[in-house]
Amino acid sequence: MEALAKAGAFVMSEATKSSVEAVVFDVGRVLVQWDMRCLLRKLYATEAEAEWAFHHVVTEEWHFRHDAGENLATLVAERKALFPDHAAAIDAYATRFVETVPGPVEGTARLVERLANRRVPLYALTNFAESFWNQFRPTQPLFDHFRDIVVSGVEKIAKPDPAIYSLAERRFGHASGSLLFIDDNPANVAAAQTCGWQAVQFTHAAALERELVARGLLD
């Protein structure tokens, strides 16, 4: 999952809203919470130690390399060589990643279900390491509503690289302008818009609900 987006107001595409044929969701921080400190707090005696490890050892920037398809064993060995005193935390990252996902983002699962009930085609485009996705996906029946999910670690391309949007567009079978993309990261939203997608930045479910209603996708 990609690095933490800056908090901000709900951002709509500057382009004129047009007809939406399908909705594409990001996963982390849109459908489910994600915070590696949830795991690190179990491994360190104090909050300060866990916070230091999050910013220096098991960082989101380092993790993003695995999202983009780099080999987990290679990344772990490299990191242990740099931070030998933190080997236990690095190993835990590699084997207990599902513990970094504490639960759903409040309200978005219900929006997915409402869209599915209206037979709106649903897809997902996520920065997620392949091995971690294989552990995580079976725990989430919500994804049964999605017709296809493009996972960066499988494709070895990560958002905001335009190539992953082109790949997703081909896989989903909809023209770029008919896809509505929802992501918490402003860089990913901007990249989607550059590729011709309609896109909005997610901040919370209530704002997203208003956007979906305004676009005629929900009552």
pLDDT tens profile 90-108:
999 999 999 999 999 999 9
Coil, strand or helix at 201: strand
Claim to verify: residue 90 and residue 59 sit in the same structural domain: yes
Asked whether residue 128 is domain-assigned, the answer is yes
Claim to verify: residue 107 and residue 197 sit in the same structural domain: yes
Interior angle at CA 7, CA 53 and CA 179, nearest 5: 110
Domain-ending residue, one of 74, 100, 126 = 100
Point out which residues pair with 151 in neighbouring strands.
126
pTM of this prediction? 0.91
Interior angle at CA 172, CA 207 and CA 112, nearest 5: 30
Q: Which two tokens stand for residue 21?
A: 């044929």
E strands in the chain: 22-25, 122-126, 148-151, 179-183, 198-201
Query: Which pLDDT does position 205 carry in this prediction?
Result: 98
- At 137-191, the pLDDT tens digits run 999 999 999 999 999 999 999 999 999 999 999 999 999 999 999 999 999 999 9
What is the span of the domain harbouring residue 132? 22-33+102-214
Q: Is the peptide bond between 160 and the residue preceding it cis, with omega within 30 degrees of 0?
A: yes
Domain-ending residue, one of 79, 100, 121 = 100
Domain-ending residue, one of 69, 100, 131 = 100
Q: What kind and span of H or E run contains 179?
A: strand 179-183
* Count: domains in the chain: 2
Asked whether residue 17 is domain-assigned, the answer is no
| Residue 122, domain CATH | 3.40.50.1000
Asked whether residue 90 is domain-assigned, the answer is yes
Asked whether residue 114 is domain-assigned, the answer is yes
How many C-beta neighbours within 10 Å does residue 97 have?
Answer: 23
- At 26-78, the pLDDT tens digits run 999 999 999 999 999 999 999 999 999 999 999 999 999 999 999 999 999 99
